[in-house]
């Protein structure tokens, strides 16, 4: 019977043990699941942040490089169409050389990113150079000449990266063709683009120890620029490059995570094609760099979870074995405590416990001496106000209250606290720290202690501040580039001598005004005028006097036109005034007023009084023409007839 009773009581004794084991298992599984979810979300946020950071960087570099290339392309196209074809003819170099090289030098002076402008003739010989005195070169076998010569449809060419002979900086030759009316190549206008400026931006950018910045061609995949450098890959394609494959498929920008083809390092890449040019920028942040903080968090959470498991295990052992195994349990607890203290005593991070009721430190590891200058004995018992700055103490007190309420409501996600706190040192200074803490419960399930780990993040804060300052400086430079670009755009449509708009600007606005007049049915007049016997003024008084006459005439016109009118220097001593919403009769009256005003002008120059007259031709829409070319031609014919009729008069076009 006693034996039978024994077997009857055994299952009853095992039921509480099973319930305790089940509760502990559920608690540990829930905590592990929660930590896994938190760590997974932090991991995904780190990946997303790396993608965003890389994307922002390539956008900034693409905008800067794209702006530079657009300005350079515009200048090259302007030179290609403005240089007379006679300047490329054999034997014509000496006659045109001073004027052409002066124009090249003026253009190059406004463009610090290039090493001057150069002009080749149809045989590939250097004909003109913005830097006079340079040794002549023969480029008939250079790729930038052969490509434009052999492909009549090619309007812009980028060379491989070259190394400058004088400064050993990377150069990219950008060139456009000069063709005659038949499409035959008469010459090439080229400019070496100094990639050293972009290299300095690459060098100043911090993407971590294993990050990369790349400038690459999209048409053939050749590497042009890389930080850190890869000399053996320069002007060569990277094999099996997935980014190149995406660009070949038509993508303009995007991101991708892969192992670098050149070094096998896993990175989060962002890429962006540079405008409409065969170039693209790539930025890659190594996974080891952007996941460093996440791995630190994993280590801290893992240590906290390990301590929580140890605490639960010790409590479970006490409950299961009760007094029968009290001695053995005490020995195991002592051994566990010894291991814990060994870990805490040898950790570079500060491990501490905080009594929740009194808000005072109940344990501090020896590494507190290196962090704050206090001994562990001095730190133990310190209240929040002695341990933290006023702001950090207030924030931690609020965090504790909020988490206790969430824990009481059953929110298990409130068991872990992660924040940044500024701790007070013995000398009164503050040190920024990253804190990961968890709540420890007593036998009744009430949180009594906070177990935390503090890590000094001073160096990280300094690095973040340096990065912010670097980004601020970069933005300032970009703003300055934007202002310079606006100024250059304005200079491109203004005549340097008179300040009036030039012919290039006129071509655009005349097209728009004719279209508007056609659309709205409104009148439009065009007045073309020319200084009578202007060559005689130059020959008699000199070109400086002639320039002063042009300036005074331009000022006279500018002072007597409406806000919607446009006065342009058409070429040489010819001027053209566009008069929207003005019929022919009114335009003739305006032209007659200008003629009388100029007739009474006296230009003082060098102690000599210079006088002149002007002849004017008037054409109107739609009476004389319905296209810009027709109106310009009719005004020019009217001007010709005014000169033929004796000059110093106004004539309207008469078909």
Residues that are catalytic = 573
For β-strands 614-621 and 650-652, DSSP reports them as parallel
Give the span between the Cα atoms of 343 and 351, in whole angstroms.
9
Measured between alpha carbons, how far is 318 from 327 in angstroms, rounded to an integer?
A: 10
Pick the closest to residue 299 from 436, 398, 392, 186 (CA basis). Answer: 436
Residue 162 vs residues 127, 373, 557: alpha-carbon distances, Å:
21, 57, 50
SS3 state of residue 431: strand
What is the Cα–Cα distance from 422 to 188, expressed in whole angstroms?
Answer: 64
Q: In 3D, which of 144, 169, 174, 171 has the Cα closest to residue 71?
A: 174
In sequence order, what are the beta bridge partners of 433? 421, 456
The answer to whether the CB of 608 falls within 8 A of the CB of 556 is no
Q: What are the angstrom distances between the C-alpha of 267 and each of 232, 285, 556?
A: 21, 5, 65
Closest CA to 384 of 340, 348, 435: 435
Angle, nearest 10°, between helix axes 503-520 and 628-644? 110
- The rounded distance, in Å, linking the Cα atoms of 532 and 3 is 138
Q: Are 531 and 553 in contact (CB under 8 A)?
A: yes
Angle at 397 between CA 393 and CA 400, to 5 degrees: 140
DSSP line for 325-387: GHHHHHHHHHHHHHHHHHHHHT-SSEEEEEETTTTEEEEE-TTHHHHHS--HHHHTT-BHHHH
d(CA 169, CA 308): 59
Q: Which residue has the tokens 């019929």?
A: 583
| Nearest CA among 183, 181, 162, 186 for reference residue 172 | 162
Q: Which of 266, 113, 122, 264 is nearest to 189 (CA)?
A: 122
**Reduced to 3 DSSP states, what percent helix, strand and coil does the chain have, rounded to the nearest 5?**
50, 25, 25
Place of tokens 């007379």: 84
């Amino acid at each position: 019977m006693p034996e039978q009773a024994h077997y009857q009581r055994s299952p009853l004794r095992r039921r509480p043990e099973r319930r305790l084991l089940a509760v502990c298992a559920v608690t540990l599984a829930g905590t592990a699941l929660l930590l896994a979810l938190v760590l997974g979300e932090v991991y995904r946020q780190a990946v997303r942040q790396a993608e965003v950071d890389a994307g922002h960087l390539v956008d900034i570099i693409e905008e800067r490089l794209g702006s530079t290339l657009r300005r350079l392309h515009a200048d090259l196209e302007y030179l290609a169409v403005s240089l007379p074809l006679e300047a490329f003819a054999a034997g014509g170099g000496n006659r045109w050389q001073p004027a052409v090289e002066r124009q090249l030098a003026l253009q190059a002076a406004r463009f610090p990113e290039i090493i001057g402008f150069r002009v080749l003739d149809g045989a590939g010989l250097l004909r003109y150079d913005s830097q006079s005195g340079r040794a002549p070169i023969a480029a008939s076998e250079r790729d930038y000449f052969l490509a434009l010569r052999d492909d009549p449809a090619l309007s812009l060419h980028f060379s491989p990266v070259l190394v400058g002979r004088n400064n050993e900086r990377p150069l990219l030759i950008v060139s456009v063709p000069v063709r005659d009316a038949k499409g035959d190549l008469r010459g090439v206008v080229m400019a070496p683009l100094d990639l050293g400026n972009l290299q300095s931006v690459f060098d100043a950018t911090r993407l971590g120890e294993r990050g990369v910045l790349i400038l690459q061609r999209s048409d053939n995949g050749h590497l042009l620029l890389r930080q850190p450098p890869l000399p053996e890959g320069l002007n060569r394609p990277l094999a099996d490059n997935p980014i190149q494959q995406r660009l070949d498929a038509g993508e303009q920008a995007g991101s991708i995570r892969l192992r670098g083809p050149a070094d096998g390092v896993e990175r989060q890449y962002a890429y962006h094609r540079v405008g409409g040019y065969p170039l693209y920028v790539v930025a890659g942040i190594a996974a080891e760099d952007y996941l460093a903080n996440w791995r630190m968090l994993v280590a801290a959470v893992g240590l906290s979870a390990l301590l929580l498991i140890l605490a639960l295990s010790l409590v479970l052992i006490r409950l299961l074995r009760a007094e029968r195994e009290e001695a053995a349990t005490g020995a195991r607890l002592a051994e566990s405590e010894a291991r814990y203290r060994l870990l805490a005593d040898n950790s570079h991070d500060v491990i501490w416990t905080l009594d929740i009721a009194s808000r005072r430190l109940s344990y501090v590891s020896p590494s507190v001496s290196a962090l704050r200058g206090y001994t562990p004995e001095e730190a133990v018992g310190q209240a929040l106000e002695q341990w933290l700055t006023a702001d950090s103490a207030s924030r931690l007190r609020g965090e504790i209250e909020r988490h206790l309420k969430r824990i009481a409501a059953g929110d298990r996600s409130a068991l872990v606290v992660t924040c940044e706190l500024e701790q007070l040192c013995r000398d009164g200074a503050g040190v920024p720290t990253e804190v990961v803490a968890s709540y420890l419960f007593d036998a009744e399930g009430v949180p009594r202690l906070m177990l935390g780990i503090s890590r000094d993040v001073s160096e990280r804060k300094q690095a973040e501040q340096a990065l912010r300052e670097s980004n601020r400086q970069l933005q300032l430079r970009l703003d300055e580039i934007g202002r310079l670009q606006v100024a250059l755009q304005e200079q491109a449509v203004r005549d340097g001598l008179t300040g009036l708009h030039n012919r290039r600007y006129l071509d655009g606005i005349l097209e728009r005004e004719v279209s508007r007049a056609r659309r709205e049915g409104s009148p439009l007049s065009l007045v073309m005028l020319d200084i009578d016997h202007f060559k005689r003024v130059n020959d008699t008084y000199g070109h400086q006097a002639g320039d002063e006459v042009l300036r005074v005439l331009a000022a006279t016109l500018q002072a007597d036109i409406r806000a919607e009118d446009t006065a342009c220097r058409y070429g040489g001593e010819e001027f053209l005034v566009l008069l929207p919403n003005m019929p022919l009769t009114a335009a003739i009256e305006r032209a007659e007023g200008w003629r009388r005003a100029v007739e009474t002008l006296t230009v003082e120059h060098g102690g000599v009084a210079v006088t002149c007259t002007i002849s004017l031709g008037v054409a109107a829409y739609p009476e004389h023409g319905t296209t810009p070319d027709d109106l310009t031609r009719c005004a020019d014919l009217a001007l010709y007839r005014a000169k033929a009729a004796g000059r110093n008069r106004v004539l309207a076009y008469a078909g």
